[in-house]
Structure 1
Amino acid sequence: MYSRSNNGARSHRWTATLVMGQVLLWSCAAEAEKLPHNLQIHGFASQSWLMSSDNNVFGKSSSGSGSFDFRELGLNASMRPLPRLQFSAQMLSRWAGKGSEGNIRLDYGFIDYTVFSGETSQFGIRLGRMKNPLGFYNDTRDVPFTRPSILLPQSIYFDRTRKLALAADGVHLYGERRSEMGDISFQAGVARPLVRGDEAEAAVFGQLVQGHLAPEMSYIGRVNYELDGGRIRFAASATQLNMSYSPGEGSIHFVPVIFSAQYNAERWSLTSEYAFRNLQYKNFGAMPDMDISGESYYFQGVYRLTPEWEAIARYDVLYMDSNDRQGRKWAASGTGDGRHAHNRFAKDITVGLRWNITPEFMLRAEYHHVNGTGWLSTLDNPNPADMSQRWDLFSILGSFRF
């Protein structure tokens, strides 16, 4: 095991981010010009400031002056050359502490062909790099305007494992059936996960390693049910994420299953999701095989005070091991290499406000009171034994879209 330094690449990534910003400005100008009727270009940019009482989130947020190392720039385009054929792609530059340092990458890019489309149903196929259909928010978590908060519920949507969960290269089938009893839709496919890089290694092993991960054929799917135009929503989603490790014959299998429910009224929404996760490590030589099952859930309420103002409250719970919820057995066994029991769970109380200043510009403020450190990144917190169990986080975000 060892650590790496990326300081030599910082100037290059800053340059890449500036180029991305210039492209966004060019695209805003292009939107004002006349584009082909079937070509759409959109983009967004956001900047956040975070300050924590202890522990680091997206940079040195506990430094006393906070951290500005959380920003997102995105540019997407879609084109429909034929009624049943569509091309979609998005480029993204994201700074989020040491786990993501601003390099521009293909967020998604795929071909969508509608095989059949009728009055009450449709069926199609997508090929390329696609967002993984997991839970309610994974598909749209990149765009600040479509998230319910600055940080998504970390018990379900880990930012420290974001790259693994966000997208994959493969082929998906999708379909929808609408009726008076409600609308049912599905999306399912096979894919190769995106496992290269420090973020994925730290998420899987808890630290950087000398070897590297390699993707294996994986499977994913989600079924949605909506009634009364989305007033009531239910979803069930799951994936079998398979990876190998070299040198050696190590293999990793990660299987999360997520159940989602939401009720939407005119001025308020209630959302809850529950996840069961099974993680297996096999054939890692001196390290014994492991089979760990964890669980997590959250309850969230959103109230629209006015058309411009929105308030949110959430209680979010994560247990890394369902048979050792408080992490005491893990800490006592010595498996954690001196880490504390609170590295194995997290309970987060969140409150926040959203202000839609204009349809294009939004401000958010958010406060978290957290007991536990289970979802914190070891890249931003390289000494987990030094983490504090109880800590607070305050964040502000400004975001623009076109």
Structure 2
Amino acid sequence: MTHSIVLPTADRSLQTYTVSGTPLNAKPAAGAFNRIAYSAAHVVADPLALNDPWLSSAVDWDKTIAYRQYLWSLGLGVAEAMDTAQRGMGLDWPTSLELIRRSLDAAKDVPGAMVASGCGTDHLDLDRVTSVDEVIAAYDLQMEAIEALGGKLIVMASRALARVAKGPRDYVRVYDHILSQAAQPVVLHWLGDMFDPALAGYWGRAQVDEAMDVALDVIAAHVDKVDGIKISLLDKDKEIAMRRRLPAGVRMYTGDDFNYAELIAGDGFGDEANHGKSDALLGIFDAIAPAASQALQALAQGDQARFHAILAPTVPLSRHIFQAPTRFYKTGVVFMAWLNGHQDHFAMVGGQQSARSLQHFAELFRLADQAQVLVKPDLAVQRMRTLMAMHGITSV
């Protein structure tokens, strides 16, 4: 069946777009991947809740957990309560802890399901934080709560630490404490200021190369407590440089939503033990889950050509979703979930469905079609027409 829809173009004109992509099948993973792959998963808002969306979060727990079950069925792990779940942009700490609890409970029923959970300091009032000791206490509180549930930690970058730290020594002090207290190896999380402007100058250095030195020193001092580090700098050369310097046994989890395909495939440097490739902890895997799963299966079978053939068309889509202001990428991720029928509405925690323009959504739709990730084209067209009609654009 041919599906056509009237969409706005960059010059503000209207043109008919015909859906042409053949959707990839969202089929269960057959066999293990040869990369660890976490999808940072979004939350589904409860649109019927009586609340003030800009001030408090209301989550549809059934739909939210169902989406995690979908990701697990495709062989992907879940990075829980991260920035993709609007952590710090609508999702508060108490709700995040409930989300972690529910995900860990659900994972018990899924053989091999992986969950790693975000641990941060976001319950602190930034306007009142004055000391590094307060940051340490905040991390301790969240670590204890997540570990009490049996959760693996992703130690998130802290806005509070970025605000009060005087230099690298304060970062070293905080991370030395965190890692010495951790019950099991953790994933460190270095989020660039393109994702969160409040994290500018993280690790106590304005220059990335100098900040990297600080992070590597922290890791080297606690190799037994660091599973890996996820960096989200949208700079593949920086990621490659850092992963080559990681101690043996410490993984690089790519958070580069611009260059993930080549970073996961690897660069041929040494062998895998010497960090010639990246594992994955990506927000875009939420939006392109079927493609990610099929590509990783191909890679595990030694078929790099198919791996790249599947993922290459998704890269323009990802770069569009994560375009500046990058912190609004969550809107595109949830929009994709709505188009593909994983939720019945396009409402978001914090009212973030308004963070992107109609032009942005129109181009996202076109790129998703070309990437073959509109898994139900008829439904996607119907929902896109609804969105267009809300803005006064109707298809003939």
Q: Is the TM-score greater than 0.5?
A: no
Structure with the greater relative contact order (CA < 8 A, sep ≥ 6): 1 or 2?
2
Which structure is higher in helix share? 2
TM bracket (short chain): 0.3 to 0.5
TM-score, normalised relative to structure 1: 0.32
Which structure is higher in strand share? 1
